[in-house]
């Protein structure tokens, strides 16, 4: 791999140069528009600070949520600009547009060491367009924010699996470098992908089987145990003939799950008990049940205590652990015990020498919101889809483009 990194750019010298940085500021917001988990912003700071210290004129770009190509104040990066200003201890201006007059004027007006942010790149439909010409046109406008002698730093690890304009096309127009976060994520995940110490235990949860089928197929042959919990386990349980009642179920995936269990047999580890809930609500009535015990019309929102024990046991001897996807609806206190128990088991295994990686936005958020020690894991990835695709062995377009 011949990817130039931020260090190369700093060695070349950045004083007075405009550097366009793609960061991942896609943070969760509450109804009041406040950031509930600033993890991704914090993870982006080292690259930004290094550029500021080098005297660059930093133009940041990122997306937030899914505004679907339209300007929508609900998805403005204003809270991010504020959080950045606080953390960098310097004013970070937010342009009133993406690549319009205001963005250009502000970019022109930057002094050495200044930092600005353009508005949500997904306010522009060309960001995610399938039409290459449209993306190229948008990329040209983004690149023009840097004037002469500009550079592009790719640091949004959470989006490098997407061939979108601000991630992919813009890299073709400017000298390009991998930022510190992208670099660190890739070198860490490579350890898990290429030569994991055994036993290698993967824990998958979250909502959709179809999203994670690729990773199940790719990892099952490599792992000693593939533990499946969360919303996706019910399709597997249904495939075993259990009545999962109103639990999350992807009927069109039942056959695929059957085949996976036939092929990988004992490697796939499923829950042995569940927490049933009367409805999808934080105050729902709840009880511990066995796999056939979900009351009629109820649903399961977490794995049960015996499952936590079983998963703990498998994790206790692991030397490499990868975790993606919560074990239950951890956002509701009543249904957080499964996720918490399994996460604690991983922290324990890590203390005993295992190398553990957490990937996935909600999984990473669960570690923090459940009050667990982030440092208890070897690495918490900022990318969900990106880390999964990397482990599947897929080429990430946003990384591949940096190699050229
Ligand atoms: P990640 O972001 O870590 O990749 P996902 O986005 O795949 O994880 O899934 C996270 C979501 O899955 C959480 O919001 C959680 O509430 C939901 N979830 C987990 N278990 C269940 C369940 N049993 N029923 C419904 N939703 C669930
Ligand atoms: Mg998620």
pLDDT at res. 195 = 87
Q: Quick one: 150 and 272 in the same domain?
A: no
10 is in an annotated binding site: no
Kindly state whether residues 227 and 141 are assigned to the same domain. no
Q: Is 145 in contact with 104 (CB distance < 8 Å)?
A: yes
Q: Which residues contact 95 (CB under 8 A, 6 or more apart)?
A: 102, 103, 106, 107, 116, 117, 118, 119
Is the domain of 177 the same as that of 279? no
pTM over 0.75: yes
Query: What's the CA-to-centroid distance between 207 and ligand 2, angstroms?
Result: 8
Q: Determine if residue 335 is labeled as part of a ligand binding site.
A: no
Q: Is 385 labeled as catalytic in the residue annotation?
A: yes
User: Any idea of the CA torsion for 134, 138, 143, 146, to the nearest 10 degrees?
Assistant: 160
Cα 91 to Cα 55: distance, rounded to the nearest angstrom: 15
Q: Spot the catalytic one: 22, 40, 246, 314.
A: 40
The answer to whether 348 is a known catalytic residue is no
Strands 273-277, 286-290: parallel, antiparallel or unpaired by DSSP? antiparallel
Would you say 212 is a known binding-site residue? yes
- Report the C-alpha gap between 30 and 33 in whole angstroms: 5
231, part of any domain: yes
Residue 117 domain flag: yes
Question: What number does the ligand 1 atom closest to the CA of 233 have?
Answer: 23
Please check whether residue 88 lies inside any domain of the structure: yes
Q: Is the pLDDT of residue 332 over 80?
A: yes
- Which of 158, 183, 208 is the C-terminal boundary of a domain? 183
Same domain? 206 vs 282:
yes
- Tell me how many domains the chain contains: 2
Atom 26 of ligand 1, residue of closest alpha carbon: 231
- At residue 84 the predicted structure's pLDDT band, cuts being 50, 70 and 90, is very high
Nearest to residue 300, comparing CAs of 366, 216, 237? 237
| Domain match, 91 and 230 both | no
Q: Write out the residue range of the structural domain in which residue 171 sits.
A: 6-183
Per-residue model confidence as pLDDT tens digits over 289-299: 999 999 999 99
Q: How far is the CA of 176 from the centre of ligand 2 (A)?
A: 29
Nearest listed ligand to the Cα of residue 325: 1
CATH of the domain at 150: 3.40.50.1260
| 285 lies in the same domain as 235 | yes
Average pLDDT for residues 30-40, to the nearest whole number? 92
**275 and 386 share a domain?**
yes
- The predicted model gives 95-115 an average pLDDT of 98
Tell me the pLDDT band of 404, cut-offs 50, 70 and 90: confident
Reading the block at residue 253, the tokens are: 């995936």
Q: Is 361 a catalytic residue?
A: yes
- Is 242 labelled a binding residue? no
Q: Tell whether 226 and 138 lie within a shared domain.
A: no
- Judge whether 123 lies within some domain: yes
Closest CA to 398 of 180, 166, 141: 166
Cα(394) to centroid(ligand 1), Å: 23
113 and 160 share one domain: yes
Instruction: Give 51: exposed, middle or buried? Use CB within 10 Å, 0-12, 13-18, 19+.
Output: buried
User: Quick one: which of 123, 112, 38, 37 has its CA closest to 72?
Assistant: 123
What residue's CA is closest to ligand 1, atom 21? 231
Note if 383 is an active site residue.
no
The band of 1, judged by pLDDT with boundaries at 50, 70 and 90, is low
pLDDT score for 86: 98
- Round the average pLDDT of the chain to a whole number and report it: 95
| Residues making up the chain, counted from first to last | 404
pLDDT in tens, 185-205: 999 999 998 889 999 999 999
């Amino acid at each position: 791999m011949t990817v130039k990194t931020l260090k190369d750019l700093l060695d070349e010298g950045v004083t007075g140069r405009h550097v366009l940085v793609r960061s991942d500021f896609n943070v969760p917001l509450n109804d009041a528009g406040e950031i509930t988990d600033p993890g991704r912003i914090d993870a982006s700071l080292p690259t930004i600070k290094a550029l500021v210290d080098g005297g660059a004129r930093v133009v940041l770009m990122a997306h937030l949520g899914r505004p679907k190509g339209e300007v929508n104040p609900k998805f403005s990066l204003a809270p991010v600009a504020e959080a950045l200003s606080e953390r960098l201890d310097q004013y970070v201006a937010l342009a009133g547009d993406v690549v319009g007059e205001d963005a250009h004027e502000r970019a022109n007006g930057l002094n050495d060491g200044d930092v600005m942010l353009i508005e949500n790149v997904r306010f522009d439909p060309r960001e995610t367009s399938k039409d290459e010409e449209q993306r190229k046109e948008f990329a040209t406008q983004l690149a023009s924010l840097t004037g002469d002698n500009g550079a592009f730093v790719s640091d949004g690890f959470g989006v490098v699996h997407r061939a979108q304009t601000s991630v992919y096309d813009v890299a073709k127009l400017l000298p390009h470098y991998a930022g510190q976060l992208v670099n660190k994520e890739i070198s860490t995940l490579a350890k898990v992908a290429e030569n994991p110490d055994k036993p290698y235990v993967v824990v998958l949860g979250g909502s959709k089987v179809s999203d994670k089928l690729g990773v199940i197929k790719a990892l099952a042959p490599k792992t000693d145990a593939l533990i499946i919990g969360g919303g996706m386990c019910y399709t597997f349980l249904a495939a075993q003939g259990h009545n999962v009642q109103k639990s999350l179920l992807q009927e069109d995936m039942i056959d695929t799950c059957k085949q996976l269990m036939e092929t990988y047999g004992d490697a796939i580890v499923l829950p042995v008990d569940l927490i049933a809930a009367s409805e999808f609500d934080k105050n729902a009535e709840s009880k511990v049940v066995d796999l056939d015990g979900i009351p009629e019309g109820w649903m399961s929102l977490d794995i049960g205590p015996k499952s936590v024990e079983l998963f703990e046991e498998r994790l206790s001897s692991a030397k490499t652990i990868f975790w993606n996807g919560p074990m239950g609806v951890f956002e509701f206190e009543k249904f957080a015990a499964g996720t918490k128990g399994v996460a604690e088991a991983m922290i324990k295994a890590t203390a005993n020498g295992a190398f553990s990686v957490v990937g996935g936005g909600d999984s990473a958020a669960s570690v923090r919101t459940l009050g667990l020690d982030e440092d208890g894991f070897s690495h918490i990835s900022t990318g969900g889809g990106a880390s999964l695709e990397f482990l599947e062995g897929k080429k990430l377009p946003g990384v591949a483009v940096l190699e050229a």
